[in-house]
Amino acid sequence: MSKLGVLGRVAGWSCVAIGAVQLVAGTRAEPGMNGDATVDSHVRFMGSAFIGYGLGWVEAAASPTPNLQRMRVLSGLMALGGASRLVTRATLGRPHRFHDVLLGVELAAPIVVEALGRLDRPAR
C-alpha cells in the first residue's frame, strides 16, 4: 500500500471516529466546550458532517493508486478549517490548548499530502 493510501485511510477513519464521538457526546466530546443547547446541537450536527468528510478520505485512498487530486481537495478543506481557527484566535482569543494540536494538523495536511503524493509517484 502506498504512503498516500495509508495517510488517507488514517485521516479518514480518524475523522469518522471523531465525528462519531461528537455525534454521540455533543459538547462533552471536547475539553473547554460550553454545554448550552445551541452549541451542543451544532457540535452533534457537525459530527455527522465530519463522518461524511472522513468517508471521503477513505474512499479517495481505497484504490491501489489513491486519488491524489481528491486528497488535495480534502486536505485543502482541512487547512481551511485551520484558517478558520485562526480567525477565532484573532477575534475571540485562544481556545482550549487542545485546539493548538488540531490547528497544527489542519495546516500541515496539504503539505503532507503533497509530499507523500510526490514520494508515491513512479520514478521517471
pLDDT in tens, 66-105: 999 999 999 999 999 999 999 999 999 999 898 999 999 9
Quick one: which of 39, 49, 119 has its CA closest to 77?
49
Query: Could you tell me if 16 and 65 are in contact, meaning their C-beta atoms sit under 8 angstroms apart?
Result: no
CB hemisphere CA count around 95 (13 angstroms) = 19
Domain count, the chain: 1
Q: Assign residue 62 a region: left if phi > 0, alpha if psi is -120 to 50, beta otherwise? A: alpha
Count other Cβ atoms within 10 Å, centred on residue 50. 22
The reported pTM is 0.90
Give me 75's grid cell: 486536505
Domain that holds residue 89: 3-120
Using DSSP, state whether 34 is helix, strand or coil: coil
pLDDT tens per residue, range 10-25: 999 999 999 999 999 9
* The CA-based dihedral angle spanning residues 34, 38, 44, 45, taken in that order and rounded to the nearest 10 degrees: -140
pLDDT one-digit tens code per residue, 96-114: 898 999 999 999 999 999 9
The yes-or-no verdict on residue 44 having pLDDT over 80 is yes
